[in-house]
């Protein structure tokens, strides 16, 4: 019993010494390493010191498998309809006391809660996973590596992982696509090859390196399953354009501008008003094309005026920009229409 207690005391001192020598490893002493300590026993007989004895104990440190996956940042990824290669960013941290590989999957959600107090309403397409090969925290399409697993991630090491996907067209503002990234610990195996699935030791402690799963439950995984998952999401910020087309009679060849009528030869002013709903993304390069029917003749002298305003529902002939007329079509381009803004394209034609 005395021998036993001395051995434990010695082991405690030794463990403290090990921790002091390797303070960098939060995950603890490296799995598979051995810890040996030797006790010496001195004694006397008749008050005379005798030759002492020693005893050693060697143990193998077992493997504690643990990891976390986390979204980088705290906000959704804002995307435009039709955007390609939209990026969400995660970190995968190996908090095990061993070098491991980590299989990666990115799964789309079908409805339900997203990552930011929102609700999944659509799916992105062409979902791929990249490792931040140059470790700059930014997705670089030419540099970062398309992966299905993280190879040889060291104890306490963190890798940045990007989920990259395309966004379909025709989606309204605030539509959400949630994606879950799951990392599953694997044997490290050899470099550049994904190791085998990890197997937890379910029997009593063995003399060799046993394996214990110590991970928590993430977004969609369970506790102690060698996996961890986190959600992130994409949220649409779209323009919401609407157009109205109105006409007014300017003059006719008989009445002039006094109470003119829509008789042949009368001049008609057409106004196309383009509005963008409040809270929308700014629309740019808004191209308006208006083919004239055969019984109208374009008023070359008036031209096409763009960027005009609408006052109390009436188009103002105050557009400073100019459009074109070609192939019997009046055309004007509005450089931008911001949220809550209305701009016009105005032209005149006469009735044949
Ligand atoms: Ca979805
Ligand atoms: Ca990068
Ligand atoms: Ca490997
Ligand atoms: Ca887990």
pLDDT in tens, 289-343: 999 999 999 999 999 999 999 999 889 888 898 999 999 999 999 999 999 999 9
Q: Which ligand is nearest to the CA of 221?
A: 4
CA of 96 to the centre of ligand 4 (A): 13
CA of 119 to the centre of ligand 3 (A): 37
Q: What is the 3-state secondary structure (H, E, C) of the chain?
A: CHHHHHHHHHHHHHHHHHHHHCCCCCCCCCCCCEEEEEEEECCEECCEECCCEEEEEEEECCEEECEEEEECCCCCEEECCCCCCEEEEEEEEECCCCCEEEEEEEEECCCCECCCCCECCCCCEEEEEEECCCCCCCCCCCCCEECCEEEEECCCCEEEEEEEEECCCCCCCCCEEEEEEEEEEEECCCCCCCCCECCCCCCCCCCCCCEEECCCCCCCCCCCCCEEEEEEEEEECCCCEEEEEEEEEEEECCCECCCCCCCCCCEEEEEEEEEECCCCCCEEEEEEEEECCCCEEECCCCCEEEEECEECCEECCCCCEECEEECCEEEEEEEEECCCCEEEEEEEEEEC
Contact 131, 104 (CB under 8 A): no
Per-residue pLDDT, 24? 56
CA of 199 to the centre of ligand 4 (A): 14
Q: Which ligand is nearest to the CA of 162?
A: 2
Q: Which ligand is nearest to the CA of 176?
A: 1
CATH architecture of 65-236: Sandwich (2.60)
Q: What value, to the nearest 5°, has the Cα angle with vertex 189 and ends 184 and 193? A: 80
CA of 315 to the centre of ligand 3 (A): 68
Query: Is a pLDDT exceeding 60 seen at residue 225?
Result: yes
Per-residue pLDDT, 26? 77
Q: How far apart are CA 102 and CA 108, in angstroms?
A: 19
Q: Which ligand is nearest to the CA of 108?
A: 1
CATH architecture of 241-351: Sandwich (2.60)
Closest CA to 136 of 106, 159, 118: 159
Give ion ligand 1 contacts, CB < 5 A: 108-109, 120, 123, 177
CB atoms within 10 A of CB 30: 16
Per-residue pLDDT band for 27 (boundaries 50, 70, 90) equals confident
Backbone angles phi, psi at 153, to 5 degrees: -85, 120
Per-residue pLDDT, 317? 83
Q: Where in the chain is the domain with CATH 2.60.40.1170?
A: 241-351
**Which pTM was predicted?**
0.80
CA of 297 to the centre of ligand 1 (A): 51
Tokens of 122: 């659509």
Q: Which ligand is nearest to the CA of 132?
A: 2
CA of 294 to the centre of ligand 1 (A): 48
Contact 67, 150 (CB under 8 A): no
Tokens of 120: 């999944």
Q: What is the mean predicted confidence (pLDDT) over 78-90?
A: 97
CA of 137 to the centre of ligand 2 (A): 5
CA of 88 to the centre of ligand 2 (A): 13
Closest CA to 337 of 284, 270, 269: 284
- 201 versus 1: which is more confidently predicted? 201
Closest CA to 102 of 30, 160, 66, 151: 151
Tens of pLDDT along 89-123? Answer: 999 999 999 999 999 999 999 999 999 999 999 99
């Amino acid at each position: 019993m005395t021998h036993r207690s001395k051995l434990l005391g010695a082991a405690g001192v030794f463990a403290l010494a090990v921790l002091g020598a390797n303070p960098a490893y939060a995950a603890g002493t490296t799995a598979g390493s051995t810890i040996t300590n030797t006790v010496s026993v001195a004694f006397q007989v008749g008050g005379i010191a005798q030759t002492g004895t020693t005893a050693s104990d060697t143990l193998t440190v077992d493997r504690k498998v643990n990891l976390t996956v986390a979204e980088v940042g705290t906000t959704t990824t804002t995307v435009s309809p039709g955007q390609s290669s939209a990026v969400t960013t995660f970190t995968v941290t190996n908090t095990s006391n061993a070098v491991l590989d980590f299989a990666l999957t990115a799964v789309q959600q079908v409805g339900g809660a997203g990552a930011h107090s929102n609700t999944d309403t659509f799916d992105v397409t062409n979902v791929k996973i990249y490792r931040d090969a140059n470790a700059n925290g930014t997705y670089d399409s030419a540099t970062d590596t398309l992966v299905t697993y993280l190879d040889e991630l060291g104890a306490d090491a963190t890798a940045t992982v990007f989920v990259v996907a395309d966004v379909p067209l025709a989606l309204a503002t605030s539509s959400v696509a949630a994606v879950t990234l799951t990392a599953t610990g694997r044997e490290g195996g050899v470099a550049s090859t994904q190791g085998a699935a990890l197997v937890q030791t379910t029997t009593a402690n063995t003399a060799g390196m046993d394996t214990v799963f110590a991970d928590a439950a993430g977004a969609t995984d369970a506790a102690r399953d060698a996996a961890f998952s986190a959600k992130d999401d994409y949220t649409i910020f779209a323009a919401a354009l609407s157009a109205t087309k109105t006409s007014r009679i300017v003059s006719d060849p008989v009445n002039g501008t006094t109470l003119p009528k829509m008789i042949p030869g009368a001049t008609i002013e057409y106004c196309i008003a383009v509005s963008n709903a409040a809270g929308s993304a700014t629309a740019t390069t808004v191209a308006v094309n208006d083919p004239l029917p055969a019984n109208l003749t374009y008023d070359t002298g008036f031209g096409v005026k763009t960027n005009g305003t609408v006052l109390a529902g009436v188009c103002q002939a105050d557009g400073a920009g100019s459009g074109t007329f070609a192939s019997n079509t009046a055309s004007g381009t509005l450089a931008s229409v911001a949220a809550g803004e209305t701009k016009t394209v105005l032209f005149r034609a006469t009735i044949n």
